[in-house]
Chains A and B, each alone.
Chain A
Amino acid sequence: MLTYTIRRLILAIPTLLFISFVIFLIVKLSPSDPTAGLPLTIPPEVREQIRESLGVNDPVFVQYFKWLKLMVWDEPLHFIEGTTGWQVAPDGPRIISYQTRSPVMDLIAQRMPQTLWVVGTSYIVGILIALPLGIISAYKQYSVFDQVGTFISMVGFSVPTFFTGVLFIVIFAVNLGWFPSVYNTTHVVTDWDSFVVQLKQIIMPVMVLGLYNASQISRYLRASMLDNLNQDYVRTARAKGLTEKIVVLVHVLKNSMIPVVTVIALNVPAVFGGAIITEQVFKVNGIGQLLIIAIQSGDVPVVQTVSFIFAVLIVLFSLIADILYGVLDPRIRYD
């Protein structure tokens, strides 16, 4: 298993290099100009000098390798220095946002907690809803519970989050006035009352994303449970005189979770992507919103870096999914 993991990690390097190159090129292809956002009073010669200083007139490959070196070497060292305090960071340039003139990594570090809070909570809530929903739907197939569950998860799965998000705002924030429609990231939880405020503002984005995740995962789990409930080993478990609870929640569930856990792991990066829209709807200033603003204002370094981080997450979580598969299913050995 360890050799397999190491081999996969090494194999991930060329994959990520290729992805980084493609991301870099695609973003470069866009006709955006780093000086476009500057006031019109700045004369063309000055603009040209600004472009020159930003290095956008260099050949594309030179730009790519400069960016890559910063991305995989300088920035991680800055990250290490920032978290541990060791003086390891080089003095050279950093990946700088055109817009804010601050290092992109600092922007990401500022926005990561909000995204992790909202997306992470919603994913956990989604899983917590999906587990009982999938298990009961499968165990009581075609019952009223199953029919209602199937209907809700079909709706939850097919209706996009930007629609449910706005719908939730209209119903719960505008008409009922229960929850605020804007997520206030400056809010700090210090006591019970501020915790309630935090709970109120997080509940809508979490439910919107959580329902979407729950409907997807519960469908997978239901299908997987149905496959397993008819297996011979279930009859054996019953023939041993075990209670239905043990038969279903131990014997069937452990087998059914094998494909579902991989789906859960594989979906983590997709959830970050899905959060881009939800963050816009609820005005959560997380990574997704950073990416949208950067795209709109032609902030090439930010777009490249955030996209590359998403790519790393996708590669990483598919590796995690494969490893989990091997851990859960004793029949699979990677050595």
Chain B
Amino acid sequence: MRDGVTPFVLDVKDLKTVFRTRGGEVHAVNNVSFTLKPGELLGVVGESGSGKSVTMMSLIRLLPMPPAEIRGGSVMFEGQDLARIPEEMMRAIRGARIGMVFQDPMTSLNPVFTVGYQIIEPLRTHMGLSKAQAATRAAELLDLVGIPDARRRLGDYPHQFSGGMRQRVMIAIALACDPKVLIADEPTTALDVTIQAQILELIKELRQKLGMAIVWITHDLGVIAGIADRVMVMYGGQVVEQAPVRELFANPQHPYTRMLLETVPHIRGERAAKLRVIQGQPPILSRAPDSCPFLARCPQAFDRCAHENPARFDVGPAHDAACFWDFKTGAKRDV
């Protein structure tokens, strides 16, 4: 039933994650649905606290539970619902079928183990390789991610690598067991710009070589434009717009996306225009959303937005937006 029935490697439906805190519940992920095709690169953008990382973390169940709790929805991956399978089965998927790369390579590696040990660990756990086989494979992986003199460097500790090199090691660990999906949580944010470009190139190249699907979380629209096939914009724990990358940049259909794109500074032009900002604060997610999360900051908002949380409307080919305002007709939607 794997690839025959569903064309998606990952099919997330109505995922709902709640954090229980002393001050009440925080609705961090609200009915998020998205799909991922084999080999596709999905960019996930949104400001801090918009729920992009939490969504991805909860679908591979990497959030501390409690306080986090998956309240509903399904995450179909290789014929299994990741939201429901027991923890042992989830462990067999984590690091093997789904790899992860995190934001800060300086702290994501264990400082007291050699890099070789850390790459070999998932190989031995998931693929049952012998020590020698795993070491050979680890050297191949380091070579694959562009670390010179790979075999010798297996014995080095993380502090002997630069930031960019450490992120390459993280990528090697994530790719160790040949995953179907790679979740990259702001993998270039903590790196300086030249290293960022190198890591982006590396990911592009590896994607062509290995053919895995990638979920790329970032708040950098420039990165998304250069690398993604499709983009999902998140706000207040919800998906507000989703479209192929060109379509989204050319034809944004949600007021938040439109404002987000306006905040990107342009270098061309005689004098740099004043930086645009989105006024106001992101919503506090302490109650279940019964209105549009963008209501308070939206220039298009009208009475309906305060009573009803908009569903995602189809606004073009493979393009949907969660807004009652139809930018194409310039009028309120009557659905």
Contact = CB atoms under 8 A, between A and B. Distances in A.
Interface stretch (B5-13, B87-95, B195-203): B87-95
Contacts of A243: 91
A242 B107 contact: no
A240 B125 contact: yes
A137 B92 CA distance: 28
Contacts of A236: 100, 102, 108-110, 170, 173
Nearest to B97: A241
B121 interface: yes
A331 interface: yes
B125 A331 contact: no
B189 to A, nearest CB: 13
B297 interface: no
B62 A241 contact: no
A241 B94 contact: yes
A235 B102 contact: yes
A251 B110 contact: yes
The number of chain A residues touching the other chain, given as a range, is 20 to 34
6 contacts: A233-B108, A235-B62, A240-B95, A241-B126, A254-B112, A328-B112
Contact of B110 (A237, A241, A258, A328): A237
Given A235-B102, A331-B159, A242 B121 contact: yes
Contacts of A255: 110-112
A258 B92 contact: no
B93 A241 contact: yes
A232 interface: yes
Contacts of A200: none
Contacts of A231: 107
A238 B100 CA distance: 10
A331 B62 contact: no
A217 to B, nearest CB: 20
A331 B157 CA distance: 8
A232 B159 contact: no
A330 interface: yes
Given A233-B111, A329-B112, A330-B112, A239 B100 contact: yes
Interface in B101-125: 102, 104, 107-113, 121-122, 125
Nearest to B60: A239
Q: Considering the complex of A and B, which 3 residue pairs feature the smallest CB-CB distances, nearest first? A: A241-B95, A240-B95, A241-B94
Given A232-B107, A236-B173, A237-B110, 18 more contacts: A232-B102, A233-B107, A233-B108, A233-B111, A235-B62, A236-B100, A237-B121, A239-B102, A241-B94, A241-B95, A242-B122, A243-B91, A254-B112, A254-B113, A329-B111, A330-B112, A330-B157, A331-B111
B95 A242 contact: yes
A241 B91 contact: yes
A231 to B, nearest CB: 6
A325 to B, nearest CB: 12
